[in-house]
Amino acid sequence: MQTLSNAGKADATGVELEAKWRFAPGWSWDINGNVIRSEFTNDSELYHGNRVPFVPRYGAGSSVNGVIDTRYGALMPRLAVNLVGPHYFDGDNQLRQGTYATLDSSLGWQATERMNISVYVDNLFDRRYRTYGYMNGSSAVAQVNMGRTVGINTRIDFF
């Protein structure tokens, strides 16, 4: 059984940067990153000085995106890597998820201005990592991600 409670005061400071380079007609390279310092600050709290749960120390991402015009509409390939830094699942900072990265890909087809279909594969290499965790007595309990995900998105605008 899990018990949740308010943790008191916390402080978070960080910086996030993002850049886009259009290196050829219809093609771009995006890159982003962030660094965050977050900790509990209330002196009377049990967690004083500990990192705030679910706030990764850093993160980064990069993607290559394309738009290829054809007589049947536009093809839109995308390849992206996402890096998530270490973070904790609890105020005691005992349950930790280390750094992990995933690779995602998609191919979209913009058939008309109002219709788009895309297929995607998220977490292409099936990287396993914990998405949630808590202590149940003296045992740690964790939820693991779904792994590789394959899907189709469809968008149709009627108005």
152 falls within a domain: yes
pLDDT, average across residues 85-100? 94
For 80, the domain range is 10-156
pTM of the full structure: 0.86
Residue 67 falls within a domain, yes or no?
A: yes
Domain annotation covers residue 150:
yes
Question: Is 4 a member of any domain?
Answer: no
Q: How confident is the model at residue 129 (pLDDT cuts 50, 70, 90)?
A: very high
pLDDT, tens digit, for every residue of 70-79?
Answer: 999 999 999 9
Assign residue 126 a region: left if phi > 0, alpha if psi is -120 to 50, beta otherwise? left
- Asked whether residue 98 is domain-assigned, the answer is yes
137-159: pLDDT as tens digits = 888 889 999 999 999 999 999 98
In a domain, 3, yes or no: no
In a domain, 2, yes or no: no
C-alpha pair distances (Å), 9 with each of 5, 13, 14, 22, 51: 13, 14, 17, 43, 12
In the three-class reduction of DSSP (H, G, I as helix; E, B as strand; rest coil), residue 10 is classed as strand
CA distances in angstroms from 26 to 20, 66, 69, 74, 106, listed in the order given: 13, 6, 9, 10, 16
- Flag whether 1 is in a domain: no
Domain total in the chain: 1
